[in-house]
Amino acid sequence: MRKQRPFVGVATLVTVALVLAACGSQISTGKGLCRSVGNQTAASPSTPTASGTSDLKIGLVTDVGTLDDKNFNQFSWEGAVLGATLIGAPAPQNIVTTSPDKYASNIQNFVDQNYNIIVTVGFALGAATLAAAQANPDVHFVGVDQFQSNDPLDNYESLIFNEAQAGYLAGIVAASITKSKEIAAIGGSGDIPPVVNYMRGYENGAHSVNKDVKVDLKFVNHDDLTVAFNNPTAGKQFADQFLSQKGNVDVLFQVAGKTGNGILQSAEAAGIYAIGVDVDQWQSTHDQAECIVTSAEKKLTKAVSEAIVAMGGGQPRKSNVFYGADNAGVGLAPYYQFADLVTADVKGKIDDAFSKMGSKALDPCMSAAGTSTCYSGTRDTGN
């Protein structure tokens, strides 16, 4: 049986106001389910005001990829920038990781320059971050998606998101709007817990609406993280082939970082509904916005900024800091031009699930058969 990570809630997140407009016209590609975004725009967040001055030096090390990946690296970086602004610290600096063997040396680069706060982005940096934190007790480390299981350190703060909850909500949407009753999720690798948990939550959420909906779960590459999470071309090729084999799929959820941007391109070319991940991809990958119904969000920017603000205020956090339905740390992005698809009945199901997950009355990892389906410590190969 698969086991879910322990989950408790902390800090409250600040939401960003968005401007929504009416539905657009149909786009005549593939199945023709996409819609023009028309004149819709998303409002920019207001410029924050510094609450003081700080001399803390803040550095961020990305996972393999680019800083402007329009996803995990980018929105964590924006959290570092926001946090520095709020405490009046110097502008943060970043190091973009080009290959996994650079994780430790990139972190050490900031240590050698006497940085006070080092943010590392992604599950894959966990071992290198833990080793650096153990060796440098005077430096505060913030690890995004890096669960600490044994003897948490006072100078190491892990930001943990309940991806299964966000995936569950996305699954409710997908099962409610599918016309063919076959939906899918494509993840980067089945070895990465957040990826698996998103997808298994998605599957369980869909089946909570209709147990007969077919949910296909596939992974791009288990052995090469660069291909799995940093190769849009590979993502599009994988999704194109998958969709050619699964002609009935009409909702596609991507869980593959920058590789997933190619998966969104494939959904657009096929003219089917798409669901983004981690951030509001209607905004971040706006070229595919005509097909993006919503996104399963982690509030990355706010979580990272809150860690920096706490440190700047002399109250650094430690151990695992959890974000989920109980503190608005996860959720769904707006529906924009697809708002009419998400009826009052569907919204009611989403709100009910969100409330029950927040109170722990609903486990998004629990399948209809009564088994826990989230990451178990072994590779998930999909179905």
Q: Between vectors from CA 327 to CA 312 and to CA 71, what angle results, nearest 5°?
A: 75
CA 72, CA 63: separation in Å to the nearest integer?
A: 9
* Res. 273 pLDDT band, cuts 50 70 90: very high
User: pLDDT at position 45, please?
Assistant: 64
CA 279, CA 292: separation in Å to the nearest integer?
A: 12
Contact 33, 250 (CB under 8 A): yes
CA 151, CA 174: separation in Å to the nearest integer?
A: 40
Give the torsion through C-alpha atoms of 162, 164, 167, 168, to 10 deg: -120
Which DSSP symbol is given to 366? B
Average pLDDT over the chain, rounded to an integer: 90
Amino acid sitting at position 26: Q
Percent of the chain with pLDDT over 90: 81
Q: What is the mean pLDDT of the segment spanning 323-345?
A: 96
pTM, to two decimals: 0.85
User: pLDDT at position 46, please?
Assistant: 64
Q: What are the φ and ψ backbone dihedral angles of 26, each rounded to 5 degrees?
A: -65, 150
Q: How many angstroms separate the Cα of 230 from the Cα of each of 61, 236, 297?
A: 16, 12, 19
> At residue 342, does pLDDT exceed 70?
yes
CA 293, CA 173: separation in Å to the nearest integer?
A: 9
Contact 186, 256 (CB under 8 A): yes
Burial class (CB in 10 A: 0-12, 13-18, 19+), 222: middle
Distance between start and end Cα atoms, the chain: 17
Tens digit of pLDDT for each residue in 204-213?
999 999 999 9
Q: How many angstroms separate the Cα of 206 from the Cα of each of 175, 200, 353?
A: 5, 10, 12
